[in-house]
């Protein structure tokens, strides 16, 4: 049973560029959340997708957008990259019943470096 998979694992961009990160949830999961983890910090919630809609959003600007596909996979897009966007981007999946269990399954993340 494949867990949460993310791609790419590493990427380097320059300021002003745009980036797309991808996530495939664990089998049987229908909800995907994205987190940004700056170096030496705890992850910060970006947004959550369920039924192809953004259900919740953290304190991130509109440059951060996402999408969920009918197969539950998800993309995170960041426009007009800033140096401060350099971070590890974590994808986490769960089932709709997660509010009872509270458990998220995380991928290994995509390390984004903005130069």
d(CA 70, CA 58): 23
Structure tokens that stand for 115 in this block: 């130069």
| Of positions 33, 36, 68, 74, contacts other proteins by CB under 8 A | 33
Q: Which helix (H) or strand (E) holds 89?
A: strand 87-94
The span of 13-21, 35-43, 63-71, 74-82 binding other proteins (CB under 8 A) equals 35-43
73 binds other proteins (CB under 8 A): no
60 binds other proteins (CB under 8 A): no
| Of positions 41, 54, 77, 113, contacts other proteins by CB under 8 A | 41
d(CA 100, CA 115): 42
**Closest separation in Å from C-beta 37 to other proteins:** 9
Residue with Cβ nearer other proteins (44 or 73): 44
**DSSP symbol at 80:** S
- Give the length of the chain: 115
Helix (H/G/I), strand (E/B), else coil: 75: strand
**Site residues for other proteins per CB under 8 A:** 33, 35, 40-45, 48, 55-56, 58, 88, 90, 92, 99, 101-104, 106-109, 111
């Amino acid at each position: 049973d494949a867990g949460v998979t993310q791609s790419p694992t590493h990427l380097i961009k320059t300021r002003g560029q745009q980036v797309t990160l991808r996530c495939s949830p664990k089998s049987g999961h229908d909800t995907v959340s994205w987190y940004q983890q700056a170096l030496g910090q705890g992850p910060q919630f970006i947004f959550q997708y369920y039924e192809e809609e953004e259900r919740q959003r953290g304190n991130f600007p509109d440059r951060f957008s996402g999408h969920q596909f009918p197969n539950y996979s998800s993309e995170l897009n960041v426009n007009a990259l800033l140096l401060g966007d350099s971070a590890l981007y974590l994808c986490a999946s769960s089932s709709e019943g997660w509010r009872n269990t509270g458990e998220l399954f995380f991928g290994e993340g995509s390390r984004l470096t903005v130069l």
